[in-house]
Structures are given as structure tokens and as C-alpha cells.
Structure 1
């Protein structure tokens, strides 16, 4: 996408709380993984429009813990660009697998992730009902289970 710049957040940047919370409504969860992660901001003509967070599990596996595109900018290929950027950064850093998790109700995300070469690798049963105090719904479906998807990276 033209004019889309994706870069790691720097000290002078303001954390995109609204975007982070749109992908993960638990401030507690975000506070737990963010200090051990790298947050990338996507700017379109100098306006922050999207973000993703990379969290390393070990020397071989890294996970996209949070990924979001501002509602006003969805449907423009920004999500795909974020995934492509994350894949390239993971390859450049020597990781072998990139993971991403999403809800059983996130049909649009499942479609996008699989089109980008991710495959369902496991299911964390009752993840959302066990870890979030309020029921979450997406597309009229209750979020219950987390589907984990994996992309094997090829340098």
C-alpha cells in the first residue's frame, strides 16, 4: 500500500491504546506482554492507523500478540501489509515460526490469516470465557476458544 510506513514505536511515540484495546480488551493482558514485545505502528500520511505487537516465545517462535487496524481504514489492505511486515521482520530476526491467535468468532481474521499462509495449529479451549470477566462477542458469536495459527517461515 502506497504511503504506508510501518516502524517500531519509539520513546517519543504515544501508545495507541485505542487500537491495542480494539484487538485485546484486557488492559491487564496487554500490560503483561507489552514490556517483553516490540510494538510496530503503521502510519498513513503521518496518521497512525494500525499496529501490531511481536512477542518472542524463544529463539525459534515469535507471536503476533495484538494486531489492529483503525475501523476507518479497514478494507484497504493494511491488515495484509501488517502481516507481511511481521513475517519479514520475523525472518530477518532468524525466527522459524510466526504464530497468531484469534477467536473462534473472528471469521474475517481467520480468512485473512489463512490467505496469508497461516494454518490452524491448535485450539485453546475456553480461553476467552476463562480469561475475560465479561463475555465477548464478534459477528454475533460468543468468543469462547482461541484458535492458534502458525506460519512456517522460509528465509
Structure 2
């Protein structure tokens, strides 16, 4: 397993990024300003993009694992990598996600705690309803963990 940084042509990973954020124009808002990593084992199985949000906060804007590789520890490996890579450079690792029965437990199992909520984020910023595990995503839930 290898995790490497992607510095050019990040859009070539759009198909995988769309698993983590299903609207391309939303991804394009943070793609160029973020730092992207891919995890290969031996082929591409996961992608992650983080941004500096100021005040010592590093935010996971997108993390996605290819469907055939899900539930095998690759998402957790990416979180572990970020913690090691950015410890001492940032105070907090933060992730914003929908209030989903699939996503929230993943972050909580990685040691994240709920921080705050942005009401109606998904209904106000996406051009279509987003469902995950049969749940309509409305609010953005932010989770944080110290680095």
C-alpha cells in the first residue's frame, strides 16, 4: 500500500472524487486549493483532498474509496496517514459530511467528535436531492479531532 501526493491534473481523479461529493461543480470549488493524496494497493483504491481552513484547522473536503475496496480499512488508513503527516502543523483535523448512518459512524470510529452543524447546506448548495443509505441529506455535520 502506497499513499502519494497528486500535484497536477487532479481532475483525472474526478470519477473517484464524485463518490465522496456527487456534484462536480462543488468539487471544483476546492480542487485547486486543496492538497490531494491517492492510495494505491497496488491499483488506485482511494483519494483524499484536504484544505487549510485557517486557525490551525485542516479540513477533509473529500475522501472516497472505490466501491470494490470499501470496508477493507483504506479510508481509515488515509485518516491515519493525514494524522501522521499533519500532526504538529495543524491543531485540528475536521470533516464536513451529511448526517448519514454510513458516514458519521465511520468518522466517529476514527476518533472524530461532532463539532457543529450548518443547517440546510445540502438542500441550499446542491442542484439535486442527495440520499445516502435512504436518508435525504440536508444539514452539513462537522466533526473534529485534535492532531
TM-score (normalizing by structure 1): 0.89
* CA distance in structure 2 between the partners assigned to 1:88 and 1:34 by the alignment: 22
The Cα of 1:108 is off from its aligned counterpart by 2.1
Match among 56, 61, 68 for residue 60 of structure 1: 56
- Long gaps (5+) in structure 1: none
The Cα of 1:23 is off from its aligned counterpart by 0.8
1:81 match: secondary structure: helix
User: 1:72 and 2:72 equivalent?
Assistant: no
Say which is worse superposed, 83-92 or 116-125, in terms of deviation: 83-92
* CA distance in structure 2 between the partners assigned to 1:13 and 1:63 by the alignment: 18
The root-mean-square deviation of aligned C-alpha atoms, in Å, is: 1.5
In the superposition, relative to structure 1, how do residues 122 and 6 fare at CA in structure 2: closer, same or farther (>3 Å)? same
In the superposition, relative to structure 1, how do residues 143 and 13 fare at CA in structure 2: closer, same or farther (>3 Å)? closer
1:16 match: secondary structure: helix
Residue 97 of structure 1 aligns with which residue? 92
TM-score (normalizing by structure 2): 0.94
The Cα of 1:15 is off from its aligned counterpart by 2.4
Structure 1 ranges of 4+ moved more than 3 A: 10-14
* CA distance in structure 2 between the partners assigned to 1:128 and 1:11 by the alignment: 29
- Long gaps (5+) in structure 2: none
